[in-house]
Structure 1
Amino acid sequence: MSAVPVQAAGSTWTVRPSQAGDESQLAALFAAVFGQPMTEAQWRWKLCSQPSPVPNSWVAEAGGRITGHYGGMPMRYRLDGCEVLVMHGCNAMTAADSRRQGILSAVHGRANEVWKQAGIPFQTGLHYGGWGSRREFLGWVPLFKLVWVNQPLRPFRRAARRATLPGRPLQPLDALWREFWDRRLAMTRGDPRGVPVTIREVAEAGREFDILWAAAGRSYANVAVRDRAWVERRYFAAPDHGYRVLLAERGGAPAGYLVYRVGHIGTVSDTGWIADLFAAPEATAVRRALLRRALAE
C-alpha cells in the first residue's frame, strides 16, 4: 500500500498525497476551477478533519506548483448491517493551463489504487458534466440520477421581480401560498400513532443523535451513518456555513432531524437550502413536522 510520490512516464509532474502547507495552493486552485471561494479552514475541514487509514487527498505537482487534485471524504456506511469505511470522491480539478495532459486520470487512478489496496470497498460521488469519457475510464458506474428540487416560498414576489413590477401589493398572495403549504404539511395522514411531534433547534450534537441513529438507522439496509459524530463534524464543525439543526422528538425520544441554512446560495440570494433530513422510513409525520418548521423559519 505505497503512498510514495509517483511520476507518470513522459510527464513533468509528480502524483503524491497532499500534505500540510498545500492548503493555500489548493484553495486557490478550487476558486480558479469552480469560480467559488474556499478558505484554507474550509479545505482542512473538508479533507483533513476525518480520520483515514490511508491518504485521502492527492495532488499533481510540477516544480513546486500544484496543477491537479483529487480527494475523498472518508465516510462510514452501513451495508446489510455491517459498517464499512468508504470514500466520497470530491474536488476533482486541474489547472486550466495543464489540462489534456492526463492529470485527472493519473491523480484519480493513483487514489483508486491506494484506496483499493487499503480495503476501501468503493467510493461514491456526484459528478458534474465536465468529466467526459474519464468517468467510465476511471471505473465509475452510474446508479441513479439526482435532481435539485426547489419550492418558491414567495412566488408572486418572485414573478413581480422578474417583470420589474412592485412586489409589495402581492404580499397577501404570498401569505396565502405559505399558509396553504403550512396546512398541507400539518396533515398527518397515514400516521397511525397520532403522538405529537415537537421540534427544537439544537446548538450541539448531543447523545440524542446516537439514540436516533440506533433506533432509525436499523430501518435502512444501506445508508450513510448519521450518528452524533457525523452530525457534529458535518454540520456543527463546518466553518462559515451557518448550518442550523432542528431535532424532532416524539414521546420524549428523538425521532428525526433536519439541517438547513439560509442566505446566499450560488447566484441566488434569500434562499433556504435543506442539507439533510433523516428519520425512520415510516416516520412521515416527523418529516412533515421538520419541513413545516424549516419553511416557517
Structure 2
Amino acid sequence: MNKTSPKEERSLASPRLQEGPVKEWAQDPRRRIERPERPADLDEYLPHCPWPEDRGGVAYRPIDEEHAWAYNRLYNKVFEQRRPLEHCLWKFWQAPAGPPVGFVALEQDTSRVLCANPAIRKDLRIQGEDKQAILVCESATDPEARGGGRLYFHTTLGTGRLGADMRGVMAYGGRSTDEAIKIGWRWFRYRVPFELQVWEKRLSLKPALRSRFGALGSAIAAPLDRLRPAKSPTQRSGFEFQIGTEFGPEFDEMWERYRDLYPLVLRRDQAVLHWRYQQCPVYRHQFLLARRQGEAVGYLVWRNWIRDGVALATVMDLWDGRDPKIAAFLLTSLESVASDQGCEFLQFAVMPESAGEAALQQIPGFEPSDREPPDRIITTPLPILDPSDREYERMRLVIDGRNWYYTPGDCDFLD
C-alpha cells in the first residue's frame, strides 16, 4: 500500500476556500448566461447549463490540479480502487489538449471534496475547423455526503458550462450503461448517436479446450494451433508493415492527410498518440504502421491484455484514410502478429459504415460477437454562448452519428 506523508493525511480535504480569486470567480458577470431562442429541431437536444450556486454549506468550484490528490483519493474510496496519483495526473492533467474541464463540490467548513466530475479535454476536427470537446468518463460522490444526487447534478452542469466557456463543441462518453443513458438524457440531454458492434476472431483453440479439459486442454491446443495455415498479408496486398511502440512524425503527416475526410473526428496526431498509448500507465500498446512503396499510409493501435483468463488483442485505433484495403491489410497483419504473441481472440468494436467494418466483412473468420455488448456512445452539444446559423449547423452535425469517425481509444476504455 502506498505510504502517505503527514501532509497528505488530511481526510479528503482539498485546498482551503479563500477570498480573492475564488470570490472574484463567483462574482464574474460571465457566469450569467441567457437562454436564447433555439431552432425548433434542436431545442430538445441542446442542454441548459447554468453555473452551480453555493448553497447548503457546499461550494462549487472549477477543478484545479490542487484538487487532484483529494479527488483521486475520493475516487479510490468510492470505487474501492488503489489508483496512484500519477495515473490520475496522466489521465486528466497531462492530456495534450489542456487541463481537465470540471467542477468539484466542496464542504465549505472543511474544504472536503464531496463530489467531482472532471472531464478530459480533447481536440476535435469538425467541418474542417479545429475545436475542442470534453470526454466525460468518470465522476465520484462521497457516499457519506448528504444529497449525493444533487451534488452530482450541479457539478455536471458546471462541467458543461465550463466546456461552453472554453468554446467547446460537445461532451461525449463511451461504454455507456443503461443507467447512464437514462440519467444522461433526462438531466443533461445526452443521446446515443451510434454504437460500435464488437467483431471478433478466434486465434487459438486454447479457450475452448481449456474450458473442457483444463490445463490438459491448453497443452492439446498448442500443437493444433501450429497446424493452422500461416497468413502472409504482405505477399498479396502490395503493402508492408512494421511493428512499433514509439510514434514518430509520420503520424502527424497521416493526421493532416486524412483528417478532413471525416466531418467529425477527434485529433490523433503524434502528441495525442504518444500521450494516449505510449505514456498510458495501465497497459502497454503497440502499433502496426502500413507502408506502400515506402510511404506511411495507415496504422492500427492495439492492446494485448487478459480478461477472465482469456488473452485478448483489442484494436484501440485504426486510421486508414477511409480505404478498406488499408484497413483489411492492417487487420489481417494484426491477426498474424497477435497470434504469434500468444493472443487467443482478436476483437475490434468498429464504427458503423466505416472502412474498418467493410474490411471485417471481407476477412474470413471475423464475426459480430454474440457475447460482447455493443459500445454505446453518448453525446450532447455544449451550450452555445454566441448563437449563429453556423453554430447550430455544427450542433446538427454532432447529434447525427453518421458524421463521426470514432474508435475505442477515443474513450478512456478501462484506463
Q: CA RMSD in A?
A: 3.0
Match of 2:316 in 1: 275
User: 1:143: how far off?
Assistant: 0.6
Match of 2:330 in 1: 287
Match of 2:210 in 1: 161
Cα–Cα, structure 1 residues 66 and 128, in superposed 2: closer, same or farther, change >3 Å?
Answer: farther
User: 1:142: how far off?
Assistant: 1.6
- The separation in 2 between residues aligned to 1:260 and 1:81, in whole angstroms, is 28
Larger displacement relative to structure 2 (100-109 or 145-154): 145-154
- The separation in 2 between residues aligned to 1:161 and 1:203, in whole angstroms, is 32
Match of 2:378 in 1: none
Structure 1 position 237 matched with structure 2 position 279: yes
Match of 1:104 among 121, 138, 152: 152
Counterparts of 1:134-153 in structure 2 under 5 Å? 134-136=183-185, 137-153=187-203
Cα–Cα, structure 1 residues 241 and 97, in superposed 2: closer, same or farther, change >3 Å?
Answer: same
Moved over 6 A (4+): none
Match of 1:251 among 263, 272, 293: 293
The residue type equivalent to 1:105 in the other structure is F
Match of 2:127 in 1: 80
User: 1:40: how far off?
Assistant: 1.0
Cα–Cα, structure 1 residues 7 and 105, in superposed 2: closer, same or farther, change >3 Å?
Answer: closer
- The separation in 2 between residues aligned to 1:120 and 1:70, in whole angstroms, is 17
User: 1:53: how far off?
Assistant: 7.1
Number of aligned residue pairs: give it. Answer: 285
Per-residue Cα deviation, 1:50-108 (whole angstroms, up to 9, x for no partner): 36678613222223322222122121222122221111112122233336441211100
- The separation in 1 between residues aligned to 2:74 and 2:256, in whole angstroms, is 40
Per-residue Cα deviation, 1:204-254 (whole angstroms, up to 9, x for no partner): 221110111122333323212221122122112222422222222111111
Identity rate of aligned residues, in percent? 20
- The separation in 2 between residues aligned to 1:242 and 1:138, in whole angstroms, is 35
Counterparts of 1:26-175 in structure 2 under 5 Å? 26-50=71-95, 56-62=101-107, 63-98=110-145, 100-126=148-174, 127-131=176-180, 133-136=182-185, 137-154=187-204, 156-165=205-214, 166-167=216-217, 168-175=219-226
Partner of 2:144, secondary structure, is helix
Partner of 2:65, secondary structure, is coil
Counterparts of 1:189-200 in structure 2 under 5 Å? 196-200=238-242
- The separation in 2 between residues aligned to 1:219 and 1:111, in whole angstroms, is 31
User: 1:133: how far off?
Assistant: 4.3
Contact kept in structure 1, 2:102 and 2:162, CA below 8 Å: no
Structure 1 spans left out of the alignment, 5+ residues: 189-193
Match of 1:261 in 2: 303
User: 1:27: how far off?
Assistant: 2.4
Cα–Cα, structure 1 residues 208 and 172, in superposed 2: closer, same or farther, change >3 Å?
Answer: same
- The separation in 2 between residues aligned to 1:47 and 1:70, in whole angstroms, is 11
Structure 2 spans left out of the alignment, 5+ residues: 1-23, 28-50, 342-415
Match of 1:16 in 2: 61
Partner of 2:195, secondary structure, is coil
TM-score, scaled to structure 2: 0.60
